[in-house]
Structure 1
Amino acid sequence: MKKQSVDMKLSKLMTKMLRHKPLESGLQLDEEDGSCSVEELLRVIKALPGWSEIKLSDMERVVRNSDKQRFEIKNGRIKARYGHSYQKIQYTPGNPPAVLYHGTSKQALPFIMSDGLEPMGRQYVHLSESTHFAALAGRRKGELVMLKIDSLKAAAEGIPFYYAGSEQ
């Protein structure tokens, strides 16, 4: 199997474990930031059929090369940076930049225009400082529509903003 294909499968597996189904995967994530030790995640993955040869360097490469910067490794711990569906992750509240972007699909646009941006089964709505990262998320579900968010106005109207980490 090609390294790129293995990396994509490993990224999807890590996403499932760290964002959506940690308990079912055998992981106990920190309640505050959703992290676990890198060694624990590696142990759980290696125990799965077909994954016994995975190394720490493979996980680190997936983290480093993630197009959407999904993961973060810091002080021997790993976490998904955003997109959690299983529990409320604590992010640092902050003041947003003047403009943020949200990539979505053309078919979702009428719903957004009538109901506003909703997390759709996730804990938060993901906004990006760049159109590049917003487009990566928005392209997954059809024809891309880029929304430009007046985040200063939204914050002034009481919408809270949280910082999930910088985009690289």
Structure 2
Amino acid sequence: MLNHSAEVSLSKFMTKLLRHTPQQYGLFLDPEDGSCLLEELLAVINAAPKWSHITEEDIRQTVTNSEKQRFAIEGERVKARYGHSHTKVAYEPGTPPSVLYHGTHQNALPAIVKEGLQPMGRQYVHLSEGLHFATLAGSRRGKLVLLAVDTVKAVESGVTFYYAGNEVWLAEPVPPACIAPLSAPEEQ
């Protein structure tokens, strides 16, 4: 059983493998859903000397305990739910709640007000149903700013939304007219 620190480290390595540079490690993901066999992921992880002791159970533990729920295991397959930067993963369009949230930082706000929400090197804009995930995402790079996205207005503007699971929604770029800043949680 991995301790918390080892889980976090393994999660970061799995993120690299399943979201960003799979081919660099000889891992080939299904072009439809971005998944691979759990045993293939384990073999790639075990090939790295630091991770030669990792078991399938360790991967399952890391997936289950991941605070951001970045991964999903379905049967014998594993995938990143969202955040891919390597190839476009297909998601089914869905109807989101009327408001979704996006966490960002103060320095990014002027560009968002001007240009809207952009994928910024990823395939989609990441949004969440609640403030928890938005806060986690937005507090990584500076003073937290939470944004509310009016999804009804966004759909009317031509934005398509995709459900990635576990309260996470993905979207094409969201126009500025559909976005409103919220006060920070400590100010509410």
Q: CA deviation at 1:49?
A: 1.3
Deviates more, 1:154-163 or 1:29-38: 154-163
2:138 aligns with 138
Query: Are 2:25 and 1:25 aligned?
Result: yes
CA contact (8 A) 1:69 1:167 kept: no
Identical pairs, percent: 59
1:14 aligns with 14
Supply the AA of the counterpart residue of 2:148. K
1:88 aligns with 88
Which whole-Å CA distance do the structure 2 matches of 1:152 and 1:136 have between them? Answer: 25
Which whole-Å CA distance do the structure 2 matches of 1:138 and 1:167 have between them? Answer: 16
Matches of residues 8-157 of structure 1 in structure 2 within 5 Å?
A: 8-157=8-157
Supply the AA of the counterpart residue of 1:11. S
2:183 aligns with none
Q: CA deviation at 1:106?
A: 0.6
> Partner of 2:101: helix, strand, or coil?
strand
Q: CA RMSD in A?
A: 1.1
Q: CA deviation at 1:166?
A: 2.4
Which whole-Å CA distance do the structure 2 matches of 1:22 and 1:167 have between them? Answer: 25
Which whole-Å CA distance do the structure 1 matches of 2:77 and 2:33 have between them? Answer: 10
Q: CA deviation at 1:50?
A: 1.6
Q: What stretches of structure 1 move > 2 A for 4+ residues in a row? A: none
Which whole-Å CA distance do the structure 2 matches of 1:18 and 1:63 have between them? Answer: 12
Supply the AA of the counterpart residue of 1:54. I
Supply the AA of the counterpart residue of 2:157. E
Structure whose residues are more often strand by fraction? 2
In structure 1, runs of 5+ residues without a counterpart are: none
Which whole-Å CA distance do the structure 2 matches of 1:5 and 1:97 have between them? Answer: 35
Q: CA deviation at 1:29?
A: 0.2
Q: CA deviation at 1:167?
A: 3.0
> Partner of 1:8: helix, strand, or coil?
helix
1:5 aligns with 5
> Partner of 1:135: helix, strand, or coil?
helix
- TM-score norm. by structure 1 comes to 0.97
Supply the AA of the counterpart residue of 1:3. N
Which whole-Å CA distance do the structure 1 matches of 2:134 and 2:92 have between them? Answer: 20
1:160 aligns with 160
Q: CA deviation at 1:124?
A: 0.2
Q: Which has the higher contact order (CA 8 A, sep 6+)?
A: 1
Supply the AA of the counterpart residue of 2:48. L
- TM-score norm. by structure 2 comes to 0.86
